[in-house]
Structure 1
Amino acid sequence: MVNRSDVHYFGAGPAPLPTPVLEQAAQVLLNYKDKGIGLCEISHRSPEANEILTDAKQSLTTLLDIPDDYEILFLQSGGSGEFSATVYNLVSIWVEKKRAKIAQEVGDDQAEVLKRLRKVVDEELKLDYLVTGSWSLKASQEAARLVGSKYVNVAVDARKANGGKFGVIPPEDQWRLTPRTSGSGPALAYFCDNETVDGVEFPSFPHSLDGDDAPLVCGDMSSNFISRKVDVRKYAIIFGGAQKNIGNTGIAIVIIRKSLLPPHSTPASPDLLRELGLPVGPIVLDYPTIAKNNSLYNTLPIFDVWVAGQVMAGLVHAYGTKRIGGQEEISNEKAQLIYDVLDKYSQIYRVVPDKSVRSRMNICFRVHGGDADKEKAFLVGAEKKGLLGLKGHRSVGGIRASNYNAVSVEGAKKLVAYLEEYAQS
């Protein structure tokens, strides 16, 4: 029998969870707080469920130092659902702002308001996307599917600077962002902080987007959520799935600036959006509805929120005043150990992304130049050592070591030892 302690799992997601959290989860599934029923059986509208939500929000707020003017939402959409949600919500806000401005100018002539608004939408509506890997590409494609490609501005496509493949982030002076002028600009600007498939991570916040008037969306932060410090104030929306660094599969977490919610911002009416040929989003992706109902508009999988809350509370307890900075130190240490040995044996291993944008979370490399048989043998040898989940994403192949928070320093060192042994053999 293989014990949990015998293996180290480097899969990209669903990802490993802290063993103490899983042990406690096994207990609460059977009997939560001595109620005689399990956590999956309690009502999502019960006091216990609300307490779980409150505690999870507080732990995340503490870790990332989230300001009071931000709201935390839990949804069942996953990161892919949030590709759509950000478009639905931010385009609707943009349209309503334009409508209100035109109405101030022309008064109650609704026909004239609609006529001018159609022209503004046709000429000015833009959504900026920085495409630096597979997930930001999917986000831009979903935006184009929903509103039409004419409204989507791919401000950078990193493949054009790297022979048709992802692996670099072009210099910011090469980005083609929609012009920001007084009273005008894109409905949103979007980038993916860490590309899970391609092993590309922004080393720091993009200067071109600092202080941007356009709502800035950090999309699908799933794979580097709570792994390093984040200045939440720079973003309008941050979202990510829980199933990599925070919890198990089942929920997405959204951090949204309250100025994008009523009463500060009003979305356009569904009738107006239909008149303009723009999509009306499903109610379960409507941020105002989710916020108004404390993430409980529909049945939230409260067990998944509990798991995420326990993981985050564990980090709060472990790092104290360092907050997420403590985890960042560990994440950097593990990544450095692995990259150092890959670089040491560069004749055997080739790290896929450029050194300037190497992900700390998803370490993508090829063995013997991508020789299929040798990479297969490498994976077989790793499994014999109890090093699992190292196969690269099906779309790109190769090897990928996902260095998430639950991967221990010991696990990283065991991978390094195997990399050394394989290279020397």
Structure 2
Amino acid sequence: MNDLIVFSPLYKNEDVKICFELYNEIIKNNNLDYANSFVSLLIRLAEKYNLYGNLFNSLLTNLLINNENSFSLALERKHDIAINLKDIVINDFKIIFKMFNTDFSCLTLLQQNLINNFVPSKPVINQELFDISRSLQNSLTNCKDVNEFYDTLEKFFVTYGVGKFGLNKAFRYENNEICPIIHIGNGRLDQLIGYESQKKILTKNTEAFLSGKKANNVLLYGDSGTGKSSSIKALLNEYYKDGLRMIEIYKHQFKYLPSIIQELQSRNYKFILFMDDLSFEEFEIEYKYLKAVIEGGLEKKPDNILIYATSNRRHLVKQTWSDRQDQDEVNINDAKQEKISLSSRFGVKILYTHPNRQNYLEIVDGLAKQYNLQIPQEELHQKALTWEIRYGGFSGRTAKQFINAMLGR
């Protein structure tokens, strides 16, 4: 591992470091006293990194796809690799390729079986990510030589990119860093019943953004429970393979937006900063940070970043009748313009309203079909209308809660 150049360091975790030290003792120094410790540590790492099958190769695969370096980042950006850089990378891959083909026959049959055929008890949280990693692991394991090994990884980095942004769809900002959200829903836009015109406007803007054309920040506003947030989240599953990624930002984090944007602007993905249920009371000033980022600060917002927000308020900042009669404000119109200035920075505003009785029942029918709920339509409608009276009126959220209740029975 000390001989690696471009892919050095291959790991940063202390447990992984110990794992490779044990590996060297066993394979290079033929010291089998460390065999049990090596296997035991691999099993613990399997739990942490969701390793599968050949644990050692699975660990190597995980480290490779998360190693951000001049080679992997250049391929993510679709840049050509210079000949001298390729030569150095191939030299690195000679070392890693040899490790992929390690002969563990010096271990006991039980130890070999654990390493080569491990099936974790931990459930797979992100099946799509797991399948991609597993497919790469199989391809790398079956490579006949270093050149094929290079070609396989080159194709992977061009297709998926590298690191946390390469394979993950959604992220949040916590502890001063952008962290992947592993468990996300698998909803798609065609599963959201109704609101066809709203979804069309949203997808048209998003597709323009992904194709490199001019696109606007979007505000989805209106009644609660109508699918505003679900519409935005569904975009991830529709356009993930086209390079869309989403970062969830809360309003108390707006002061960190410049540093978040700085990290995202050099990556070859299209990022949506998602702000859910966005609104501000009169005493909250965080919206000023957002205004500056969207439009108004000296630094231009990068072309690979848009802001999509949802709110029950069209103007986002709370306004009161007393604002119109404020005796302390000399220029009342200026105060009014200040409060609507944030909303005006969203070029596309999409209104979501509560469905009527017929639309509500259509949503119930659609959800019942999606979940294969076998119940006569007349009975279903009767129960759905009773549920609506008791639990909050006509909305997509009410319909979904009703279907969940029926499935639970």
TM-score with structure 2 setting the length: 0.24
Q: Which has the higher contact order (CA 8 A, sep 6+)?
A: 1
Bigger helix fraction:
2
The structure with more radius of gyration = 2
